[in-house]
Amino acid sequence: MDKLRHARLLALCGYFGLLLLLPLWYGWLSPSQLSLGLVLGVLLLPLLFPLRGLLQGRPYTYAWSSFLALIYLIHAVVELYSSPQDRYLALLELLLSLAFYIGCVLYARAGGRELKRRRAD
């Protein structure tokens, strides 16, 4: 049970960290030349889809959210390589997306086992 709670906490910290970092990055810390609405729509909209399931602790939502985390991981690696002035922000995004990914995978795995154990009882 403790593993389940730690995995969920790791995933939620990464998730909410990304949700906070992206608007700050593109809106205030390093404004993009593109439209702010376009950038935030493309980057933030996908993050809003799993919000309800993550807050309710549904293992299935955590499972498919791990694939969503990979998109942000790829974005961070591209930004690390292509934007020297934003490297510190890209590194933070990389760490947050890794936390989100690892937490989702661990929670989905442990949560699925817990559900199977409850059904067997």
> Chain-wide mean pLDDT for the chain?
91
**Structural contact between residues 5 and 110, judged by C-beta atoms closer than 8 angstroms:** no
pLDDT digits (tens, 9 = 90+) for 9-54: 999 999 999 999 998 888 888 777 667 777 778 889 999 999 999 9
3-state DSSP assignment of residue 83: coil
Q: What is the DSSP string of 5-56?
A: HHHHHHHHHHHHHHHHHHHHIIIIIS--SS-HHHHHHHHHHHHHTTHHHHHH
In this predicted model, which residue has the larger pLDDT, 1 or 72? 72
Q: Considering only CA atoms, which of 75, 76, 97 is closest in space to residue 88?
A: 76
Q: Considering only CA atoms, which of 13, 11, 18 is closest in space to residue 66?
A: 11
57 DSSP 8-state letter: T
Domain that holds residue 84: 2-120
Total residues belonging to the chain: 121
Number of domains in the chain: 1
